[in-house]
Amino acid sequence: MKLRQQDTTDLIVQARHLYLDYAQSNTDSHHVAVVKDANFAIERGEKFVIIGPSGCGKTTLLKAIGGFLTPLQGDILLDGKPVHKPGPDRAFVFQDFEQLFAWRTVLDNIVYALQVTKRIPKQEAISKARSYLELVQVAHAADKYPYQLSGGMKQRAALARALALEPAILLMDEPFGALDAITRNQLQLELNDIWQRTGVTIVLVTHSIQEAVFLGTHVMVMSSSPAMIREIVDTSHAEEFGSKEFDDISKHLRSQLIHHETRSEEIAQLSAVE
């Protein structure tokens, strides 16, 4: 099994002795310590996937990279500088189909995001929005409202909105988790294609081992109780479903999760054939 070798050539994210929790203050004795002593690095332009048992802290880590959570201890560096707050260099895509503004058309959702975060002129924002809708193959729905879209189209539109911000990092929290199997597979393939075309760094949380191995260049396995990083596996050579390397890495990841006493129903979810 090929484990990650620390390469300091072009790191976009570095977490150093990172502790995260949801304490309201240092004197809050009832707080939940979520992530403990996490150390990891993400290279620019990779697809870094996080897996682990439900509730172990995957979303919490994404929130911290996004700047929505201040570390209790340690730090997260983005391009060598500590993350203190959210910024347009990091864009989120969530699992929730309702992440678009319901009262705006698909095009306006993107134009609005561009105008608020990038402060670019409206015509330029419209042109950029249209090009990203083309990229995610939903240009035909530009003038529709979210309620008129299928789940897959909503996720494509949310992806277009995030990509249009041209972030350094795309943070994706189970983006395909609520889709049917066929749409999910299609979007996985398209995400790979978009990644190759844009070169954006992707950090993606998933419950699916198959999705992790297929999409990831590295997969970070987290354990719960305590919530720590178990290992980081190089999956960059295991893109082909059904290849020996794909199966070997999938088995290894599954065994790591079982080893960490993941509940049986979670194992079933993690192993689900999509």
Ligand X SMILES: Nc1ncnc2c1ncn2[C@@H]1O[C@H](COP(=O)(O)OP(=O)(O)OP(=O)(O)O)[C@@H](O)[C@H]1O
Binding site for ligand X (CB under 6 A): 22, 32, 34, 52, 54-60
User: Phi and psi (nearest 5°) for 162?
Assistant: -65, -45
Nearest distance from residue 22's CB to ligand X, in Å? Answer: 3
Q: Of 166, 161, 163, 150, which is closest to residue 107 (Cα–Cα)?
A: 161
CB of 11 to ligand X, least distance (A): 23
**Nearer to ligand X among residue 55 and residue 88 (C-beta):** 55
In the numeric block, which tokens belong to residue 255?
Answer: 């065994």
| Contact criterion met (CB below 8 Å) for 73 and 17 | yes
Cβ pair 86, 67 in contact under 8 A: yes
CB of 213 to ligand X, least distance (A): 18
Q: Compare residues 57 and 152 and give the one whose CB is closer to ligand X.
A: 57
Minimum CB distance to ligand X, residue 101 (Å): 23
Nearer to ligand X, 4 or 58 (CB): 58
**Cβ atoms within 10 Å of 243's Cβ, excluding its own:** 13
Closest approach of ligand X to the CB of residue 257, in Å: 12
Least distance (Å) between residue 177 CB and ligand X: 9
54/131 with CB nearer ligand X? 54
Tokens, residue 240? 């082909």
**From its phi and psi, is residue 76 left (phi > 0), alpha (psi between -120 and 50) or beta?**
beta
Closest CB to ligand X among residues 100, 221: 221
Report the nearest approach of ligand X to the CB of residue 52 (Å).
6
The nearer residue to ligand X, 76 or 126, going by C-beta atoms, is 76
Nearer to ligand X by Cβ, of 42 and 129: the residue is 42
Residue 99, number of CB atoms within 10 A of its CB: 18
Task: State the Rg of the chain over Cα.
Answer: 19
List the structure tokens of 217.
């260049």
**Tokens 């419950």 found at:** 207
Is residue 1 exposed (0-12), middle (13-18) or buried (19+ Cβ within 10 Å)? exposed
The CA-atom distances, in angstroms, between 11 and each of 45, 57, 102, 114 are 9, 22, 37, 27
